[in-house]
Amino acid sequence: MLRSKKKISSLLSGVMFLSLLFPAGQAAAADPAATAPSVIDMRQMEIGPGATYTWANMQKGSGEQKVHMVEFNPSQGNLELQPGLTDGKVYGMQGVSKMASDADQKDNRVIAAVNGDFYDMSTGIPLGLFMGDGELLTDPPGGRNAFGIKKDGTSLYGSPKLTKNVTIGGTVSSLSSINRLRGADALVLYTEKFNATTMTNNLGDEVILDIVSGRVASGETLTMKVASILKDQGNSPIGPDQVVLSASGSQRNKLAGLKVGDELSASFQLDNEWQDVTMAIGGTVMLVQDGVVQQHTDPAVHPRTVVGTKADGSVVLFEVDGRQPGFSEGLNYIELGEMLQELGVVNALNLDGGGSATFVARLPGETACKVLNSPSDGGERKTANGILLVNTAPEGAANKLVVAPTLERVLTGSSAAFKTAAVDQNLHPSQMTETAIWSVDPAYGSIDASGKFTAGNQSGVTEVSVQSGNLTGTAGLEIVDELTELKFSDAVKTFSSGSTETLKVSALRNGQVVQADNSRLEWRTEGDIGTIDGNGTFTATDKQDVSGKIFVKYGQIETSIEVNVGLPPVMLEDFENGLSRYKPSSGAQIKSTKVSIETDETYIRSGNGALKLEYDFTGMTGTSGAYLQTNGTADNIEIPGYPEKISMWVYGDGNAHWLRAQIRDSKGAIPLDFTDQTVGVNFKGWKYLEASVPKGRTLPLVMDMPVRYMETQATKKDAGAIYVDEIRALYGPAHDDIEPPVLKNFSPVNGAEIKVNTPTITVYAEDAGYDPVAHPGTTLIDPDKIRFYLDGSLVQHTLYPPEGRIHYTPNVPLADGVHQAKVTVRDLSGNQTTEEWNFTVNTGAARVVYDTPDTVYAGGGYTLDIGGVKTSQIRSGHIDFQFDPTKVENLELIPGDKLSPAQVSADIDATTGKVKVTWKDIHTASLLDTDWIGQIRYDVKKNATDSSIISLTSGAVSFTDTGNTEFSFFGLPMESRIATHYTLSWNQEGTVQGYETEFKVSDAQGQPVEGVQIMADAAAVGTTDAAGILKTGTLTSQVKTYTVQAVKGNQYSPALEFKVSPLAGSPTPFNISVGMGEDPTTSRMFNWHTDPATDGTIVELAKKSEFTDFDVPNVQKIDGTSELYHTLDLGTVRVHKATASGLEPGTEYVYRVGDGQGHYSAQGSFKTTELAGDTTKFLYFADSQASTAKEFELWGNTIDKAAAEHPDAEFMVHAGDMVDKGFLEEQWNYWFAEAQKAFSEY
């Protein structure tokens, strides 16, 4: 939102500056005192023979209004009005400047143009009468006003009527319309000027006709010959010298008897004096009629476009800007009428305004038209049609010079730039062959060879003259010594720390712009923001996040601007230059990971690409991570300075994994957290995230892992993808607009059932925090980033910017059933919102239905049933499904019982799971609603789990009463839970090499099942007994991984992985640790590992003072427990645990651990804690920073040195990260091996 406001503010100030500077020409500026009383400032120039362009700043309504108009005498032989079209056609929309450019050519130079009629914003078809060169481009609807002009230049205003008939076989019929969308029961004539095709659906018939003679013009008869006939078809091509008759509903009968070669005719007649009109355009209300301002109750204030006529017959094309507070607010109808009356207009018709209001003109000496006004959308809107003012006079040699600007006001001691160009006698641009020589009265200043004027100290009115050979030109010049107002274009401005910029300020005298050099003004700052010199050049402080003001003054007039200073964010990675600096795949404990550049706009925050990070953590243990990692040191991203934070935009997948990054200094890695580990990326869609950079690290900083997506919990190991864009370094508050826009007022509402099949689907979009008062012309939604989908297909939407209304009306009626709309929008800062909603069409018509069971069983066979409601009325169609090939197999079509394979067929791709069922002319089978059109049989795979989803990807159907026209339909996906009849389990020791496995099978009620085969890699192992148990040693006879499953008939258990664990360890205890018991003065806990076969658990200990040998009677023997533990890397070991209690406080003991059968550890010792004492001493260790045997040597050296330097330490504490991967037994073995000697003494 902040960025968008700044963009609009800059645009308005720029347009204001251009409007004042560029309106320039040969004619002198009008004196505001001698013109209308509401005029604050006015500039005029001749842009064609007898055509005067006027720019005015007028006080009316709620404030100042910026006006653009061109006035010309239509009786002058070289000027005429022509229609502005879209690529020469009625259908579609384009900017007025493009309309002008398309029409501009030798002997037909467009010198000015405005937008025209109101129109259907989805098609661009104007709502009213439209004519050019006497030809009817669209017919006039009843009661709608229009402007027309005759060949003699006479203007007409009113509501013309058109009689339009077609004669077929001697029968005269009325045409419904000309070049308009065909309704449900209509007879429409389409001409070559409409479009390349008729843009109709297939619910009708069309006849393509060659023109024999005549035109589609009032008073003329059009004779035609049938070229081709298209039944139940639409969108026919319209070739050169052709028209198309298109009929729907009952009107189709009027074309029924035609055949190729037949002749027919059409006649057209406008009423009364309108029959002589050559150019016409529609509008809405009359603003001024016969010199009287018309009264209207509508108080709305908008930008406006008008066509009018003065008492002398001069025609005025008029535009006033609006919806731009502080620049030009716009007018209501009455205010607009009063302004026009004040300017001498006696008849005026309101044309399309709002964001459509556009005024373009070719300024003297220039070669093309350009937009001169400030459109309220922030840029030129594409509109339906326009009025072009064309200069048809021939182009000749240079006749005079024009000067720009034609009038300039300059403050004493200041300067202004003038430029000149040559034009011919008809105001066409021409060549200036000699150097321009400038002159001015020296009493008022001087002018150099480039046209730069510098004012002296004397105020007054004079002129600037220029001469090039025999060509001359002048411009008005006023030197002023008084200002009444100073204005900055922005209320707030932000500068980078240490930056320098020369400020610009507008100087005004009573609302009139005056050119004032900065050096003539007084400048000062407030606050510790920096310094500013006498030329208005500001140098910002090097400090961060400081605020203040800059003041500028002339005499007693002063204004200020708020200033913020700080180092702007630095883009570290925007993914616009590919991924060559990164590894294509990087991660830990992953099945797979992949990085790529995403080009779908949905997943791009800005620019043309974003990072897509795909990952698969399924089935992995330990900490899994998918990384974006540089190739090496040379590719690391350098981070300027010392940022406070790193930011990024993330499109989340909602899987709640931990998002991190990694930067480095000379001392090592620095992890950054963008989400809390316990929360993760728990959102879907775009979100802005920041991570704080720890203080006190050594510069320079680099980034080697911009993205780390991680998961530590085994229960959350899944697969997915996230998207990342705009990774930046922040050196202070970013002040970005990060709030997504709002979508609201959905119609039809979600879940609604509607009775019409051509609904206007609507949603309103606006920026978060949108203020309609501050931005009346737009809701700050980016019009180029809107995407509207209906039933999964992108459709051409329509936007009305002042309301943010986005809508779409289907051209072909929707089939009865469920439909889905989806709209994605972005605000002007790039924030994105997507919403989708469903509604049901129910007109009582026939429709296709389909279904499959909600629950399916692994290994079972099922059908997806395709049928209908009022099935007998269904003619032909198709339906496309997407099955999940990882869940189902053996897809095949079963045609309905009453249908033959010729009537219903299927295209099945077993690899991808795509199925397309097509049916043709099934209405001949007289199907009942209980009959299937067809069934898709499928088997659920034996190893399938979770759910099976079948999606409808597309569908279309035709009916007996609509010919061959197909209506698209949509349906929601079907999700079936995949269940199993049995559960399969086994004992813990059953996967250990050489141990017996006891499989157990239960049914859904938990009861044992007899006679179930246990399959391993599809080979039978054995059958369960009456207790549902099978005992076997077959699988553990070798170290191998199997897929096991319980099977009985077509009933299955889930397919499970059975991994035989090899025997690991040795009979001699290893990895021994002694920990404090419940009471450190009297107890100790012992843990150690052995091989699985060593199952005895004995601790032998004695007081050190009494110890001689472990075989003497005073040695305590303590029994413990043990259990098997399956490591992921080395195999199965046995873990032993025992607790010694009842020990004496403050006493040294010796001990050994073993199985009591001769397998013992080395002797160790410990001392129990004293009963009394105020102090303790212990050794504290942290991350061992190791993963290999060699790396763990450093850990061993560290603990040895600590123990040697502090022999009086009572115990050791380790803070964690003892090993790199806690699930690998080998790393624990390394860790213990290096520390075992020290451990045995504590």
Q: 145 and 285 in contact (C-beta within 8 Å)?
A: yes
Q: Which CATH number fits domain 847-975: 3.20.20.70, 3.50.50.100, 3.30.300.30, 2.60.40.680?
A: 2.60.40.680
> How do beta strands 832-841 and 947-959 pair?
unpaired
Contacts of 600 (CB under 8 A, 6+ apart): none
pLDDT band at 8 (very low <50, low <70, confident <90, very high): very low
pLDDT band at 187 (very low <50, low <70, confident <90, very high): very high
For 216-226, what is the mean pLDDT?
A: 98
Residues of the chain with pLDDT > 90: what percent?
89
Cα separation of 929 and 867, whole Å?
7
For 801-821, what is the mean pLDDT?
A: 93
Cα separation of 892 and 904, whole Å?
12
Cα separation of 34 and 22, whole Å?
23
What pLDDT score does 36 carry?
66
What pLDDT score does 980 carry?
97
Cα separation of 101 and 82, whole Å?
13
Residues spanned by CATH 2.60.40.10 within the chain? 400-480, 982-1059
pLDDT band at 29 (very low <50, low <70, confident <90, very high): very low
Residues spanned by CATH 2.60.40.680 within the chain? 847-975
Task: Give percent helix, percent strand, percent coil of the chain, each to the nearest 5.
Answer: 10, 45, 45
Q: Please check the confidence at residue 28 and state whether its pLDDT lies above 80.
A: no
Q: Please check the confidence at residue 57 and state whether its pLDDT lies above 90.
A: yes
pLDDT band at 962 (very low <50, low <70, confident <90, very high): confident
pLDDT band at 9 (very low <50, low <70, confident <90, very high): very low
Domain 742-841: assigned CATH number: 2.60.40.1220
Q: Please check the confidence at residue 254 and state whether its pLDDT lies above 90.
A: yes
Domain covering 400-480, topology = Immunoglobulin-like (2.60.40)
Strands (E), 731-782: 742-747, 752-754, 761-766
pLDDT band at 424 (very low <50, low <70, confident <90, very high): very high
Domain 1070-1239: assigned CATH number: 2.60.40.380
Class of domain 982-1059: mainly beta
pLDDT band at 17 (very low <50, low <70, confident <90, very high): very low
What pLDDT score does 217 carry?
98
Q: Please check the confidence at residue 23 and state whether its pLDDT lies above 70.
A: no
Nearest to 402 by CA among 372, 432, 373: 432
Tokens of 1115: 């040695």
Cα separation of 760 and 746, whole Å?
11
Residues spanned by CATH 2.60.120.260 within the chain? 570-730
Domain covering 485-565, topology = Immunoglobulin-like (2.60.40)
What pLDDT score does 469 carry?
96
Q: Please check the confidence at residue 22 and state whether its pLDDT lies above 80.
A: no
Q: Classify 576 in phi/psi space as left (phi over 0), alpha (psi -120 to 50) or beta.
A: alpha
pLDDT band at 18 (very low <50, low <70, confident <90, very high): very low
pLDDT band at 223 (very low <50, low <70, confident <90, very high): very high
Least confident piece of the model among 21-25, 27-31, 586-590, 926-930: 21-25
Q: Please check the confidence at residue 735 and state whether its pLDDT lies above 90.
A: no
Per-residue pLDDT of 883-903, as tens digits, reads 999 999 999 999 999 999 999
Nearest to 188 by CA among 252, 283, 114: 252
Tokens of 579: 């991924």
Q: Classify 751 in phi/psi space as left (phi over 0), alpha (psi -120 to 50) or beta.
A: left
For 583-609, what is the mean pLDDT?
A: 95
What pLDDT score does 1221 carry?
84
Q: How far apart are the first and last CA of the chain?
A: 64
For 827-843, what is the mean pLDDT?
A: 94
Residues spanned by CATH 2.60.40.1220 within the chain? 742-841
- What average pLDDT does the chain have? 94
What pLDDT score does 35 carry?
53
The CA–CA distances, whole Å, from 1095 to 89, 584, 1039 equal: 92, 48, 22
**May I ask the CATH architecture of the domain 570-730?**
Sandwich (2.60)
Q: 566 and 547 in contact (C-beta within 8 Å)?
A: no
pLDDT band at 24 (very low <50, low <70, confident <90, very high): very low
Per-residue pLDDT of 540-550, as tens digits, reads 999 888 999 99
Per-residue pLDDT of 1200-1222, as tens digits, reads 999 999 999 999 999 888 998 88
Q: Is 103 helix (H, G, I), strand (E, B) or coil?
A: helix
Residues spanned by CATH 2.60.40.380 within the chain? 1070-1239
β-bridge partners, 979: 857
Q: Please check the confidence at residue 510 and state whether its pLDDT lies above 70.
A: yes
Domain covering 162-270, topology = Jelly Rolls (2.60.120)
For 71-85, what is the mean pLDDT?
A: 94
